[in-house]
Chains A and B, each alone.
Chain A
Amino acid sequence: DGGITQSPKYLFRKEGQNVTLSCEQNLNHDAMYWYRQDPGQGLRLIYYSQIVNDFQKGDIAEGYSVSREKKESFPLTVTSAQKNPTAFYLCASSPPSGGREKLFFGSGTQLSVL
């Protein structure tokens, strides 16, 4: 079945540590996205990528980094510079559509600070 796989489901970060969240899709979509979800704030865009080896910052990119070396993969690194990383992180993808198509979401990663 086609879809988006996020791992791990739960992740714990120690002070000063970088952690990487995995996102893999087999939908052959060009565009991929990372969103952060906090209670009462909806989803906010961290980074997006429209094509391999290219990505752009979203609204809240500070303290995060990404790479897009393969079409299928878009990992997100939460760096030690992100002082409030506890949140639910959602990866999404989309076919080219001029905005008509929905976003396809993974099942998310809950990141907590130890």
Chain B
Amino acid sequence: AQTVTQSQPEMSVQEAETVTLSCTYDTSESDYYLFWYKQPPSRQMILVIRQEAYKQQNATENRFSVNFQKAAKSFSLKISDSQLGDAAMYFCAYRSVYNNNDMRFGAGTRLTVKP
């Protein structure tokens, strides 16, 4: 089964600075999707960004971008110009193309934003 690893339980960043959250995954599949979800204190899960494995171009959504390294099985999230509202738990997730019920989540990284 696929596994997702987030090696940073906690991270902090100064407001307006840039921070990168790490994620690695293990799979034998060649096609899949990767996601970053944000969970603020309200505990609502919010999609931040999505990456298709067959696309070489890294996904971007405003201040959020990813560094997708397929050979290294790495999928990091970069948050630029950090804002207080970015403080949350961030989860990396893997979803199989072949079994699309199989969405695997990492343990999460708690991001603190300092004013």
Contacts and interface: CB of A to CB of B under 8 A. Distances in A.
A40 B106 contact: no
Given A99-B32, A107-B43, A42 B100 contact: no
Contacts of B44: 105, 107-108
A42 B43 contact: no
Interface residues of B, number: 26
Contacts, number: 54
A94 interface: yes
A42 B107 contact: yes
Contacts of A100: 33, 50, 52
B29 to A, nearest CB: 10
Interface of A: 31, 33, 35, 40-45, 48, 50, 56, 88, 90, 92, 94, 97-100, 102-103, 105, 107-108
Interface string B2-13: 001010010000
B28 interface: no
B107 A41 contact: yes
Contacts of A108: 43-44
Contacts of B107: 40-42
Interface of B: 4, 6, 9, 32-33, 35, 42-45, 47, 50, 52, 91, 95-98, 100-103, 105-108
Contacts of A99: 32-33, 95-98, 100
Contacts of A102: 35, 47, 50
